[in-house]
Structure 1
Amino acid sequence: MTPTDRLNIITEDAMCIGCGLCQSVTGRDVVRVEIVETGYERPVVHGALDHATVDRLMELCPGTHVEGLPERERTPATKTDLIWGDYLTMTLAHAADPEVRHRGATGGVLTALGMYLIDTGEVDFILQAKASSRVPTFGDAALSHSSAEVLEAAGSRYGPTAPLVEVMAQLDKGRPFAFVGKPCDIAALRNLARVDERVDRLVKYMLTPVCGGFMPPQGMARFLRDELHIDPDQVTGFRYRGYGCPGLTRVEMADGTVHERRYTDFWGTDESMWMLPFRCKVCPDGIGEAADIAASDTWPGGSPDPRTEDDDPGTNAMVIRSARGADLVDRAIAAGYLTLTGPVDPRYMDSVQPHQRAKKLAVGSRHAGLRDAGKTVPRTERLRLDALTEALGPEEAARQRAGTRERVRIGKATEPTPKV
């Protein structure tokens, strides 16, 4: 098998999440993350690729390797929950500034923390995602050097996004920065830290939203054509949420017209209606176990109530995992950037994130189904998959395992070889 074939297996087995790290490590002349025929962004080999480089990429790729919080970030005060992993504290919070709270994806916590880090000069920039200038429904990696730029990038991006596509170039600058990305992006960056000491030295904070997945390109096209009856090629701007909690999904057109729908119109009212990439369905860490801080929605039952969401000002639940994360929160509160509204616990998190609890319990069995079918299975450490499978129970574990094998059989876990 050639090095190119080995790399392509990650995509062909539907394990690629399009983070962009492979391009950054090899250089875009060798591997380039591009929009391929499926509509996803995937690594396409353009230059000479050797087996040693692929070996390295296999260690770094969050499609093949995912770990929990590094041991060095644990303290004597660290608690461990079967579902929610390592943490120091859990608390409800929101941005103290009403505008930041309103524009943020939920309560503006991650935006407020980014603004604080920039305003105090603790970091030189924030590496994060913002709405793409190439494809409005996608996200692009962005460097925010001012609090205004951090605020401009506020709001979730539920489309393909490669925030790490130039992370090596950012490390080459030798300047301190913070990273805000999905849990799988954090996993990639933690993997990189194991072979590049600059990550721990320069990336001062890793912050993440608790992530339920993103909309596949074919799902987005279906929403635009079938639900809104518009031509995707005429879309010039797309906001998934924000300007409220969750706020309206907003589509801007080339002719100046605007289409708006509720968040629940876009996603549906429960997880069974979500259309997600296969990798998201077998994700071993959607809750940001490797991040310093993970911020989540706080809707009872896991979904906003359309009857009351217009009156919801937005409140995040923060899972503060590391000592540096706890210190950052304390200082942001003292400086007037964050407002805390009370402590919570893992069982509260279960109640507002039931889909995360369900997936966490099921993922070990789903991985077993992938092994049965001869598919790529992410190697995991410190994520408690065996204990979670035991807690799930043998009957449901067998059902999840068999269901994954069936999804593989009907082609749900397969993508074509990436090509433009």
Structure 2
Amino acid sequence: MRTSKAPHSFHDIDARVCTGCGACASICPPDAITAEGGRVFLQGECTKCGLCYRFCPGRQMDFDALSRTHLGAASRDPLLGYYRFLGVGHAKSEETRRRAASGGVVTAVLTRLLEEGQIKGALAVTMSEDRPWQSGASVLTTPQEVKGAAQSKYSLVSLDALLGIPRREEGPFAVVGLPCHVHGVRRLQRLGSFREKLPLVIGLFCGFNLRAAATHHLIDKLGFAEEEVARLEYRGGNWPGGFLVQTHDGRQGFIPKDQYSYVNLLHVPRRCLTCPDLTNELADISVGDTWLQEYSGGWSTVIGRSHRGVHILKQAALEGVVRIDEITRDDVLRSHAHLLAYKKQGYFVRQRWLRVPLNYKLQTPPIGKRHWLQQSLLLALILVLSNDLVGNFVQRLPLDWLARLASWGRKAAKHSIGV
């Protein structure tokens, strides 16, 4: 029996809470932990130092405490977290904007910071050059590398290999990541080396992430073999883009974004179902798509949270790197109503059914019976479709049928949140 003073080990972390962020692997003194393909496992002997258990963000997250520490105030908004500025923006460079998933704000800001020497590099997710259907983590040290890493990558990636860099090299570095990555970074920044060398955290909005099987399926749906793929983009083409594949012999396949979102229901990682963070509430700057009719054609929703984050955004705008228009909270809620419903209210419904042992210290919001039933049915659909036998059958259906399934899933996630 464990005593209260006995050290914790890797084996004490419940596998159900693991987000695959790689924080444990980056902090392990003997490098005995490996994070790969959304899974984390031991490849060496655990010394029971307890660091992985202590810093695991999947096990425990106090959003208010971390917000006070890194943003200067506790969360004041149950849907968006703490913020100082809300806006929409896009890169002033048409090339940067065109190559981005939405407005290109992240690419433009990072390029400026590198050119001015404010950061040594950016830690971000990129696509493999040799195997372009696979994503991984990279250190971007030139504006060209930053521009080449533009667009969303809908695939599980661990940042553990990069998070070890601050222990070996002088910074400063910026980090660009999903909420699970940012949660890991914020937990690790309790250590001086991570806090000093990672002074800027840019967080991307995240409604769903995908297992690697989703990418394999979409390539197959286009009639290509992976070995034929020369280039792959999840948001290729004109905004809002779609799944774009180009082969070595010049052929091309394309599935519009709204038609391939059915893979969210089939391939969402189980742990993502119990994440309550849509807008990356602990980042210095949070960035996502904008889905407002008055801002169509490729705009980014931009949330400035820390003093440093707001300053960087304002300087980028003053220097003509980006255009940023201030908007209201209601505008943000209108833009992301269905995903806020799914993440911020649906989380409590899913957690009630799945009972993952989490400690997020969140207060349950009012949830009406209709919304409870709606989110419960959506969860049931996801769980049924995640069954291998059912999923394999569904994936063989015609693409237009699957597009209808995606449309139904979006409607099932929507509900009124007072906007």
Into which bin does the TM-score normalised by the smaller protein fall?
Answer: 0.7 to 0.9
Aligned-partner Cα distance in 2 for 1:300–1:324: 27
SS of 2:125's partner is: strand
CA deviations over 1:308-328 (Å, ceiling 9, x no partner): 9xx954111111111111111
SS of alignment partner, residue 161 of structure 2? coil
The equivalent residue for 2:120 is: 124
Match in the other structure for 1:415: none
Corresponding residue for 2:359? 379
For residues 365-411 of structure 1, give each alpha carbon's deviation from its aligned partner in whole angstroms, at most 9, with x where no partner exists: 3223333xxxx433214xxx32xx33223664477579869988998
In structure 2, what residue type is equivalent to 1:393? G
In the alignment, does 2:60 pair up with 1:60? Answer: no
What per-residue deviation string (whole Å, max 9, x for no partner) do you get for residues 298-355 of structure 1?
A: 1249xxxxxx9xx9541111111111111111111111111123x2222221211123
Name the structure 1 match of 2:406: none
Is the alpha carbon distance of 1:82 and 1:5 closer, same or farther for their aligned partners in structure 2, counting shifts above 3 Å? closer
Q: State the secondary structure of the residue aligned to 2:106.
A: helix
1:89 corresponds in structure 2 to 85
Match of 2:365 in 1: 390
Report the identity percentage: 25
Change (3 A) 1:99 1:189: same
CA contact (8 A) 2:210 2:264 kept: no
Partner of 2:179: 183
Q: Find the partner of 2:210 among 215, 233, 249.
A: 215
Q: Taking structure 1 as reference, are residues 272 and 143 closer, same or farther at Cα in structure 2, changes over 3 Å only?
A: closer
Structure 1, residues 49-77: CA drift from partner, whole Å, max 9, x if none? 13333xx323323332334352134457x
Q: Is the 8 A contact 2:26 2:164 kept in 1?
A: yes
How far is the alpha carbon of 1:290 from its aligned partner? 0.4
Distance 1:142 1:45, change over 3 A: same
Extract unaligned runs of 5+ from structure 1: 35-39, 302-307, 413-420
TM superposition shift of 1:362? 2.1
Are residues 1:368 and 2:348 paired?
A: no
Distance (Å, rounded) in 1 between the aligned partners of 2:369 and 2:58: 27
Question: TM-score, normalised on structure 1?
Answer: 0.80
In 2, Cα distance between equivalents of 1:178 and 1:85 = 21
Task: Report if the CA contact (8 A) 2:237-2:244 is conserved.
Answer: no
2: CA distance, partners of 1:135 / 1:27: 31
Q: Which residue does 1:323 correspond to in 2?
A: 307
* Equivalent in the alignment of 2:408: none
> Whole-Å Cα distance in 2 between the matches of residues 58 and 399 of structure 1?
35
Report if aligned partners of 2:200, 2:309 keep a CA contact under 8 Å in 1. yes
How far residue 159 of structure 1 moved from its aligned partner, in angstroms, is: 1.4
- Distance across 1 between alignment mates of 2:384 and 2:296: 43
For residues 100 and 378 of structure 2, the distance between their equivalents in structure 1, rounded to whole angstroms, comes to: 37
Distance in 2 between the 1:28 and 1:111 partners?
35
TM superposition shift of 1:240 = 0.8
* CA–CA separation in structure 2 for the residues paired with 1:294 and 1:146: 22
- Written as runs of structure 1 = structure 2, the 5 A alignment for 1:40-189 is 40-53=37-50, 56-68=51-63, 69-75=66-72, 80-133=76-129, 135-189=131-185
Question: Whole-Å Cα distance in 1 between the matches of residues 75 and 209 of structure 2?
Answer: 30
SS of the counterpart of 1:380?
coil
Say which is worse superposed, 184-193 or 15-24, in terms of deviation.
15-24
Structure 1 pair 300/338, CA: closer, same or farther in 2 (3 Å)? closer
| Count of residue pairs the alignment pairs up | 378
Change (3 A) 1:257 1:28: farther
The amino acid that maps onto 1:391 is P
Cα deviation 1:268-320 (Å, max 9, x = unaligned): 5xx9857421222221212100001111211249xxxxxx9xx9541111111
By how many angstroms is 1:148 displaced?
A: 1.5
- Report deviation, 1:123: 0.8
Contact 2:213 2:267 in 1 (8 A): no
Once the two structures are TM-superposed, the CA of residue 102 in structure 1 deviates from its matched residue by 1.1
Aligned-residue offset at 1:172: 2.5
Would the alpha carbon gap of residues 21 and 253 (structure 1) be closer, same or farther in structure 2, given more than 3 Å must change? farther
Contact persistence 1:138–1:157 (CA under 8 A): no
Counterpart residue number, 1:250: 244
Partner residue of 1:263? 257
SS of the equivalent of 2:57 reads: coil
For residues 370 and 260 of structure 1, what CA distance do their matches in structure 2 show?
36
CA distance in 1, matches of 2:235, 2:88: 20
Cα distance change, pair 244–164 in 1 and its aligned pair in 2 (3 A): farther
Most deviating of 360-369 and 148-157? 360-369
Do the aligned partners of 2:230 and 2:247 also contact (CA within 8 Å) in 1? yes
Contact 1:131 1:140 (C-alpha < 8 Å) held by counterparts: yes
Structure with the larger RCO, 1 or 2 (CA within 8 Å, 6+ apart): 1
